[in-house]
Amino acid sequence: MISDQSAAYPVSGTQQHYDGAVVAVRTDEVVLPDGTPVRRDVVEHPGSVSVIAVDDQERVLLLQQYRHPASRLLWEPPAGLLDEPGEPPLETAARELLEEAGLRAERWTVLVDAFTSPGMSDEATRVYLAQGVCEVPDEERPPREHEELDMPVRWISIDEGVDGILAGRLHNPLAIMGILAVAQVRARGWSDVRPAETPWPERPAGGVKG
């Protein structure tokens, strides 16, 4: 059985370039095992969560959201940053599902843990599976703003999602990871999922930016 390993090569120096509202950027001088120094740019990120919500018809919920850096309207699952001090990741996921989709879920498990771009960022993301979902009345939903206003919502079959990924029609990494994972979980009889409270050591050590 293969497994990723925690490792930290020595850093002989760091230059901070930018410290923004969400991310920071620095350059580390890293010493390789043979003693060679190399410079590596790092984007510091608070981490993120997303939710693959599956209804009783085994459909997955996707939202269409404008992503300016990609110049695309992307279909993606409800998701959000871990930017609330002291809020556990599972609570963040439940809050994002309520805010963006107006849904609550009875059952939560972990589908996928991943680094979104480990060659340049420390962002760790966790994809949850939410089942037993039900709609929440509009008056119980928090107000939405910015890109979240009037986001189109669609329920699609898991197979349609897989087809869209393999055909190159869906590009959001959280949607790709989550849909492919839930397709495999379904094929295994909805087993091999981890408890929602499973420890998550890969979450960036920097945590919430202050």
Distances (CA, A) of 136 to 53, 60, 99, 103, 182: 14, 17, 10, 6, 24
Q: What are phi and psi of 77, to 5 degrees?
A: -80, 160
- Contact (Cβ atoms closer than 8 angstroms) between residue 63 and residue 76: yes
| Six token digits for residue 146 | 């910015």
State how far the Cα of 175 lies from the Cα of 185, in Å rounded to an integer: 15
29, 99, 148, 160: the active-site residue: 148
Backbone angles phi, psi at 181, to 5 degrees: -65, -45
Catalytic: 106? no
Do 94 and 105 contact (CB within 8 A), yes or no? yes
Q: What sign does the CA torsion over 156, 162, 166, 172 have?
A: positive
Q: Is 151 exposed, middle or buried (0-12, 13-18, 19+ CB in 10 A)?
A: middle
* Residue 45 amino acid letter: H
CA 144 to chain centre: 19
Residues with a known catalytic role? 148
